[in-house]
Amino acid sequence: MTEIDTVEKAATDPERPQPYAELGLKDDEYAHIREILGRRPTEAELAMYSVMWSEHCSYKSSKVHWKHWKANTTPEMQAKMLAGVGENAGVVDIGDGWAVSFKVESHNHPSYVEPYQGAATGVGGIVRDIIAMGARPLAVMDPLRFGAADHPDTKRVLPGVVAGIGGYGNCLGLPNIGGEVVFDPSYQGNPLVNAMCIGAMRTEDLHVAKASGVGNKVILFGARTGLDGIGGVSVLASETFSDDEDAASRKKLPSVQVGDPFTEKVLIECCMELFAQRLVVGIQDLGGAGLSCATSELASAGDGGMHVELDKVPLRAGGMTPAEILSSESQERMCAVVRPEDVEAFMAVCKKWDVLATEIGEVTDTGRLVITWHGETVVDVPPRTVAHEGPEYHRPIARPADQDELQADDPANLPRPSTPEELRETLLQLISSPNLASKEWVTSQYDRYVRGNTVLAQPSDGGMIRIDEETGRGVAASTDCNGRYVKLDPYVGTQLALAEAYRNVATTGATPLAVTNCLNFGSPEDPGVMWQFEQAVKGLAEGCRELGIPVTGGNVSFYNQTGSTAILPTPVVGVLGVIDDVRRRIPTGIGAEAGETLILLGETRDEFGGSEWAHVVHGHLGGRPPQVDLAREKLLAEILVAGSRDGLLSAAHDLSEGGLAQALVETVLIGQTGARIILDEDQDPFVQLFSESAGRVLVAVPRTEELRFTEMCTARGLPWRRTGVVDPESGELEIQDVATFPLEELRQAWEGTLPALFD
Amino acid sequence: MKIGVITFPGTLDDVDAARAARAVGAEAVSLWHADDDLRGVDAVVVPGGFSYGDYLRAGAIARFAPVMQSVVDAARGGMPVLGICNGFQILCEAGLLPGVMLRNVGLHFVCKDQWLRVENTETAWTTRFDTGADILIPVKNIDGRYTASAETVRELEAEGRVVFRYVDGNPNGSINDIAGICSANRRVVGLMPHPEHAIDALTGPSDDGLGVFYSVLDATRSLVTA
């Protein structure tokens, strides 16, 4: 039997060497732990501090920048938020007594190592965050980024990630309603797998993660705890178990967790029944850092103390040490705080769903988190020092020396197509390029129908689900980011990501309400990366203030780089909006009504910095990203929402990467209806077709409503231009004086690319 | 008129099946896998999902659930039973329908709007359709490739027991483009596509699926009057 390190032993051999550096703790961090405890930490304590003080759990490099959220949240913005930054997930009031919880999280590194399980458990983790707020998870979306589409390793990573998201999400019964698939060589050794989940509850059912009520019981339920996902803490295991015959096999266990979606589905239903019967005082999911995180966070948010008998935790492997149990990231586990008189009823619900549930401890008023192992104390710490009072770094920040050079490299000097033939070829080349091509190969592997409330899903600009079947109240969501824009100007680029997500939500007819984010960056130890990060956070926070919608939470993923080369800075922005009746959603495809006029809202400028055209045709990245005008975006959104409310719009599609040409192609193909386009004689056709100016939406307006709609735009000061007509009979997209494309030709170009690469 | 909807651990489309039942004016009654009581229902829907995780083989464990014993008995007595997707797999495993589902030909999960032809309008679940009608219904599965012995397929075809057939493309490689079949007495129907997801053009590709649920109202009414 292995000797277990206890608090008592820690007092007797204070100078025992400890592998803190291997666990990722710096000298001063280790010294600080000793100072907090007044002795050396036990192995179990060291394991807890090392995982909880990791970048992933403690946000130690990013925390100092969160002041920007606070500084830019006005009382009006705050008023809609029921839970914000720091909770498991943000919660907003959407009206009619409904609250909606939503959050994005990254699972980037595991998904590179093991694409299927990495992506699958990413979905599982974000879904449990939503449950932990008391909400029923209702939909997921996945913003994904991969290396070059034709790189051999992308063929390993992408199909695995997509199958993992589908395999887990489909089996959970959650519709997948949107997301992104982006390719760029900078993500080659570092794909980004972000996952967003949206859930809903009645406002009075909001739960927060806290252990209050002295004498209340702590119950661990769901899957057993195993050796998977232990990661860095295996250093402890190999030290401790150097003579153990298990040591060799133990080290071979994967550090990527393995998911079991069936267990998670049952866990969801079990939690919903526990909530409905009001059997839960506080609840926390077990994700990164497992029990270390759940116990320390519950205890620090509650009445100050908790006692856990760790030997009661049901295990799936023999001979696990307390340190391993505390840091295991086995999936599909939750931890609840339950009144003693409710324990029996709680257990009965778990039994009904065949969910394993074990009482492992209780809430105390000692102010300490005490964890025992067969009667001996292995952890005795102030819980806040583990969960919230970790290190905080002011990392050096420096604008990269080559930023000026990058911005000076203006794409205006690149050769442009000018003849009709060249423009025709350019359009076909762009729509079949991996970033602009149809993503159906990916999205057809996701169930978008389950639960029967999906009103809009990919390839629409935003996903939309019905929340209330009686009133039709629902929410729309979109996630966006163009890493090339952010690279060229992190402040403006992040505001462009916000603007696009905001616009996408408004394009569905919903009113944007709140923001979440997933900030994917390179190493925080690189001052250039930290400059990008700071600019991005400021850009987002100040942008949200201008739009009047709060940041409700988010996630930071650093160290996304291969060697010293960081990924394109990728602050993915998710916007949630509300619509009081989903029946007035605006679809993406044209042709729903006979006789529609196509109107382009917004202004088109000669803007090609970071554009898809420069990337695909010239392999060029330089110059400035498109201008961002948030006041204009706000006006545009108001017009779209008013148009939806008054039934003036039969279709709408946002213009983004690939410009008007891309929007036209998608609009006619999704609507399976031809159109005739007349460009402005006073502007270069190339600029009109391919510029990526922000703040633009293409709308289809029934003839009978055209005057009413355009008068509203004029009166409100929104530039608009009649761009063409829907032509159901033609079966082609005709761009007058440029080219005519049979829909079939467009379809083959747009839909053929991904199957050819990945089938 | 009561339509029972079974929930196994891992069932996903039970809320949808219940909504479809309500949409045609029936009362949706929830049936629990561990309970053999059919609670006085007139018809049963075995909905889609991944019952018990489907880790062994789709539907292989669900057939042993207490509720399925009652469903098998009731079906033999003429009660209309509809198996959708995983429910179809379960009915095959339970011996109420012949054949088995294999992994899709492309090996991927496939979710798409699919045209089906209604080939038999004399089953308990299809009387409201016109023979030969094309309907647009979502299909979504990974193990959807229907297969059976050559003899069984010949028999199904000869007896007119192929109820739904894929048209405009076969999404999973099913033999003879078979999307759904029925029992010899036409009371039990199983299909891979999801009619319960096509009851409203707002949330599905069409409302063509309503015909399935309206049909069973007639089937149970005729049972009562007979």
Interface confidence (ipTM) of the complex: 0.95
Residue A709 to residue A705: CA distance in whole angstroms: 6
- The superfamily (CATH) of domain A7-62+206-387 is PurM-like C-terminal domain (3.90.650.10)
Three-point CA angle B217, B221, B226, nearest 5°? 150
A251-255, A571-575, A728-732, B92-96 — which is least confidently predicted?
A251-255
Contact B10 A455 (CB under 8 A): no
Show the tokens assigned to A710.
């355009």
Contact B12 A444 (CB under 8 A): no
CA atoms within 13 A on the CB side of A163: 16
User: Which residue on chain A is closest to B20 by alpha carbon?
Assistant: A452
* Rounded mean pLDDT, A197-212: 85
Asked if B27 is an active-site residue, the reply is no
pLDDT (tens digit, 9 = 90+) per residue, A297-313? Answer: 999 887 779 999 999 99
Show the tokens assigned to A270.
């079990």
Residue A579 to residue A111: CA distance in whole angstroms: 35
Sign, CA torsion A221/A227/A229/A235: positive
- Is pLDDT of B109 > 50? yes
pLDDT cut 90: percent of chain B above it: 91
pLDDT of residue A255: 66
The residue ranking higher by pLDDT, A209 or B170, is: B170
Q: Are strands A720-727 and A674-677 parallel, antiparallel or unpaired?
A: antiparallel
User: Which residue on chain B is closest to A443 by alpha carbon?
Assistant: B111
Mean of the per-residue pLDDT values for chain B?
Answer: 95
Given a contact cutoff of 8 angstroms between Cβ atoms, the answer to whether A55 and A558 are in contact is yes
Residue B140 to residue A444: CA distance in whole angstroms: 9
- Is pLDDT of A519 > 90? yes
Q: Are strands A551-557 and A511-520 parallel, antiparallel or unpaired?
A: parallel
The alpha carbon of residue A186 is apart from the nearest alpha carbon of chain B, in Å, by: 28
Cβ-based contacts under 8 A for chains A and B? 86
Helix (H, G, I), strand (E, B) or coil at A51: helix
Residue B83 to residue B41: CA distance in whole angstroms: 16
Contact A167 B138 (CB under 8 A): no
* Rounded mean pLDDT, A275-294: 91
Contact B202 A448 (CB under 8 A): no
Chain B touched by A449 (CB under 8 Å)? yes
Q: Residue A185: how many CB atoms within 10 A of its CB? A: 16
pLDDT of residue A237: 45
- Is pLDDT of A94 > 70? yes
pLDDT of residue A591: 85
Chain B touched by A260 (CB under 8 Å)? yes
- Is pLDDT of B115 > 80? yes
The residue ranking higher by pLDDT, A208 or A556, is: A556
Mean of the per-residue pLDDT values for chain A?
Answer: 93
- Is pLDDT of A609 > 90? yes
- Is pLDDT of B121 > 90? yes
Closest Cβ opposite residue A262 in set B50, B142, B202: B50
Contact A266 B202 (CB under 8 A): no
Residue B154 to residue B144: CA distance in whole angstroms: 20
Residues of B in contact with A268 (CB under 8 A): none
Residues of A in contact with B112 (CB under 8 A): 444
pLDDT (tens digit, 9 = 90+) per residue, B36-68? Answer: 999 999 999 999 999 988 887 788 889 999 999
* Rounded mean pLDDT, A95-107: 95
Contact residues for A168 (Cβ-Cβ < 8 A; gap 6+): A119, A120, A121, A123, A124, A259, A261, A264
Chain A touched by B30 (CB under 8 Å)? no
Closest Cβ opposite residue A449 in set B108, B138, B202: B138
Residue A459 to residue A457: CA distance in whole angstroms: 6
From B33, B85, B92, B93, the catalytic residue:
B85
pLDDT of residue A141: 97
Contact A450 B16 (CB under 8 A): yes
pLDDT of residue A595: 83
Residues of B in contact with A136 (CB under 8 A): none
pLDDT of residue B60: 86
The residue ranking higher by pLDDT, A255 or B140, is: B140
- Is pLDDT of A236 > 60? no
DSSP category for residue A704: G
Domain-by-domain residue ranges, chain B?
2-225
Q: Are strands A674-677 and A732-735 parallel, antiparallel or unpaired?
A: parallel
Distance from the Cα of residue B183 to its chain's centroid: 12
- Amino acid occupying residue A602: G
Residues of A in contact with B86 (CB under 8 A): none
pLDDT of residue A231: 63
Residue A332 to residue A338: CA distance in whole angstroms: 19
Contact A262 B52 (CB under 8 A): yes
pLDDT (tens digit, 9 = 90+) per residue, A612-625? Answer: 999 999 999 999 99
pLDDT band of residue A238 (cuts 50, 70, 90) is: very low
pLDDT of residue A334: 96
Q: In A564-629, which ranges are continuous DSSP H helix?
A: 612-618
In A349-408, the residues whose Cβ lies within 8 Å of chain B are 353-354
In B133-192, the residues whose Cβ lies within 8 Å of chain A are 138, 140, 142
pLDDT cut 70: percent of chain A above it: 96
Mutate to test the interface with B, among A449, A473, A579 (most CBs of B within 10 A): A449
Q: Are strands B188-191 and B81-84 parallel, antiparallel or unpaired?
A: parallel
Chain B touched by A548 (CB under 8 Å)? no
Mutate to test the interface with A, among B111, B207, B210 (most CBs of A within 10 A): B111
CATH class of the domain at B2-225: alpha beta
* Rounded mean pLDDT, A14-23: 92
Helix orientation angle between A343-352 and A261-276, rounded to the nearest 10 degrees: 140
DSSP category for residue A542: H
User: Which residue on chain B is closest to A451 by alpha carbon?
Assistant: B16
Contact residues for B128 (Cβ-Cβ < 8 A; gap 6+): B121, B211, B212, B214, B215, B218
Residue B190 to residue B123: CA distance in whole angstroms: 11
pLDDT (tens digit, 9 = 90+) per residue, A661-687? Answer: 999 999 999 999 999 999 999 999 999
Residues of B in contact with A173 (CB under 8 A): 12-13, 49
Residues of B in contact with A353 (CB under 8 A): 9
- Is pLDDT of A244 > 60? no
Contact A452 B19 (CB under 8 A): yes
pLDDT of residue A133: 92
Given a contact cutoff of 8 angstroms between Cβ atoms, the answer to whether A555 and A103 are in contact is yes
Residue A80 to residue A92: CA distance in whole angstroms: 6
DSSP category for residue A423: H
The alpha carbon of residue A699 is apart from the nearest alpha carbon of chain B, in Å, by: 20
From A32, A56, A65, A68, the catalytic residue:
A56
Closest Cβ opposite residue A447 in set B108, B140, B203: B140
Contact B10 A452 (CB under 8 A): no
DSSP category for residue A611: -
Residue A285 to residue A309: CA distance in whole angstroms: 19
Contact residues for A194 (Cβ-Cβ < 8 A; gap 6+): A104, A105, A106, A107, A108, A122, A142, A143, A144, A479, A518, A520, A555, A572
> Could you please report the per-residue DSSP string of A268-284?
HHHHHHHHHTT--SEEE
Beta-strand runs (E) in chain B: 2-7, 27-32, 43-46, 81-84, 100-102, 110-118, 134-141, 145-147, 162-167, 178-182, 188-191
Computed over its alpha carbons, how large is the radius of gyration of chain B? 16
The residue ranking higher by pLDDT, A234 or B160, is: B160
From B93, B119, B194, B197, the catalytic residue:
B194
- Is pLDDT of A594 > 80? no
Residue A730 to residue A677: CA distance in whole angstroms: 12
The phi and psi torsions of A413 (rounded to 5 degrees) equal -85, -5
pLDDT of residue A80: 87
Residue A299 to residue A309: CA distance in whole angstroms: 14
pLDDT of residue A259: 86
Distances (CA, A) of B143 to A166, A444, B49: 14, 15, 11
Sign, CA torsion A119/A121/A125/A131: positive
Best CA proximity match to A298, nearest among A378, A369, A231: A369
Asked if A107 is an active-site residue, the reply is yes
Closest Cβ opposite residue B203 in set A263, A444, A453: A453
From A32, A65, A68, A107, the catalytic residue:
A107
Best CA proximity match to A171, nearest among B196, B10, B172: B10
User: Which residue on chain B is closest to A465 by alpha carbon?
Assistant: B203
Residue A46: Cβ-neighbour burial (10 angstroms; 0-12, 13-18, 19+) = buried
The alpha carbon of residue B14 is apart from the nearest alpha carbon of chain A, in Å, by: 8
Asked if B196 is an active-site residue, the reply is yes
Three-point CA angle A401, A402, A406, nearest 5°? 150
DSSP category for residue A430: H
CA atoms within 13 A on the CB side of A1: 3
pLDDT band of residue A251 (cuts 50, 70, 90) is: very low
pLDDT (tens digit, 9 = 90+) per residue, A362-405? Answer: 999 999 999 999 999 999 999 999 999 999 999 999 999 999 99
